[in-house]
Amino acid sequence: MIRIEGLRKRYGRFEAVRGIDLHVKEGEVFGFLGPNGAGKTTTIKMVAGLLKPTAGSVRIGGIDTSVDPVGAKRLIGYIPDRPYLYERLTGDEFLAFVGGVFGMTDADVRSRGTELLAFFGLGNFGGELVEGYSHGMKQRLTLAAAMLHRPRLLVVDEPMVGLDPAGAKLIKRVFREMANEGNTVFLSTHTLEVAEAICDRVAIINEGQVATMGTVAELKDLHTHGGGNLEDVFLELIGSPDDREVIQVLREDRHTQE
């Protein structure tokens, strides 16, 4: 579903992405992990068609994003790490706007929008202004909007930030069900437990390059001799003091929620 070859992105003299090669299959939840500043978000924006590569190519469903960017974007639902919502619109109006961007008919937007709002627990709030939504409700509306046009690929940058445990559980279920239906989820997250729980394969990126890639079991065998978990793999490869602090905070947050 995603084929990335020789992907590079340069900002002046700084090269944020330095020759990434990836193949993400249909029906796969693929985790894209790495420390801050590793090039994850830059890569994700090139996959989503928001940035042009300096070199290399990205193909979505066989479509080169540089040759036919509109055609590629029709296949993609994108959820950025800081989604922007038009808060003076109602939930229904916001979905109608998104549907219009993708050329959906009014009837299809209403039908699909009603279905998704109900699924995400927003069925009684479609007529309410988005500015009155809680943080979790806004995130669920963002996910509904990304899924509105039935994308074959869902590109997600940090989906769990600020979600309560019930919301996080729902989103993990959505990702898994999308993959089971033959669609693809390309997921960047700092929550390594989430990646380990739902991803079929993961790639760990560092300094703009892929440091390792495979199933979680394969990475454990390769980097921790079969023991430990994905956090241990991550620290074995990245292993800076700052990243160890991040991992410790994530562990403490998880135990607090439990």
CATH 3.40.50.300 fits 2-75+151-257, yes or no: yes
Amino acid 197: pLDDT: 86
Residue corresponding to tokens 């039908």: 111
Burial 180-217 (b: 16+ CB within 10 A, else e): eeebbbbbbbbbbebbbebbbbbbbbbebebbbbbebe
Mean pLDDT per 10-residue run, the chain (258 residues)? 97 96 96 91 94 96 95 94 90 97 96 96 96 91 95 88 76 91 93 86 94 90 76 76 54 51
Please indicate, yes or no, whether the overall pTM of this predicted structure exceeds 0.85.
yes
CATH 3.40.50.300 boundaries in the chain = 2-75+151-257
